[in-house]
A and B are shown apart, each in its own frame.
Chain A
């Protein structure tokens, strides 16, 4: 299965509500990143949290990281219709050598209705 797996697969909320999505991973990481993808378009980087950080904020976004549980959560507060998109977590796995890559999960599809 995937290194990063998001939960839930789909989420539908009303505008103004908070949206929480989770990501679990299997192996130790250097950092974890969250990306947003509007339908059929390229991914856009939202936030990066390093393995020695526990929480990070960016505007209406709040990301937490629990390395003991190998999990992360993305909270979007006061959601807007424009937040409708798919959200992916990506993990930078600790490995030998200088090469590294991100491994993406399968995403959470968020629908925000008026």
Chain B
């Protein structure tokens, strides 16, 4: 089944404790991205990747890192999480350009205490 998976789905952590949210797609998509969703603000892009080893900042990249060593994986790293990073996070992928139809993962609900 074609899908985007994220892990974990739910995470409660404390300020400053490094964490990684994994994202994997099995559709051989070149383009992958991370969004965060907050009430009243819609979805905002954090980082995106056009292909392996090619990543770039989105609208709200501060406090996040990403890597794209393999085509299928695009982990999101929070080196030192803070409470303002409490949010619902979505990974998405698309065939090539970001303007194609995007396929979303199920989301990761992160709470930073």
Contact = CB atoms under 8 A, between A and B. Distances in A.
Q: Do A and B come from one complex?
A: yes
Contacts of B101: 33, 45, 48
A67 B41 CA distance: 24
Interface residues of B, number: 28
Which of B41, B58, B90, B101 lies at the interface centre, i.e. has the most chain A CB atoms within 10 A of its CB?
B101
Interface residues of A, number: 23
A104 B99 contact: no
Given A45-B101, A100-B97, A101-B98, A40 B107 contact: yes
A42 B105 contact: yes
Contacts of A102: 45, 98-99, 102
Given A99-B98, A104-B35, A106-B41, 6 more contacts: A43-B43, A92-B99, A99-B50, A102-B99, A104-B42, A106-B40
15 contacts: A2-B42, A33-B101, A40-B109, A41-B106, A43-B92, A45-B102, A88-B43, A92-B99, A100-B97, A101-B45, A101-B48, A101-B58, A102-B102, A105-B42, A106-B40
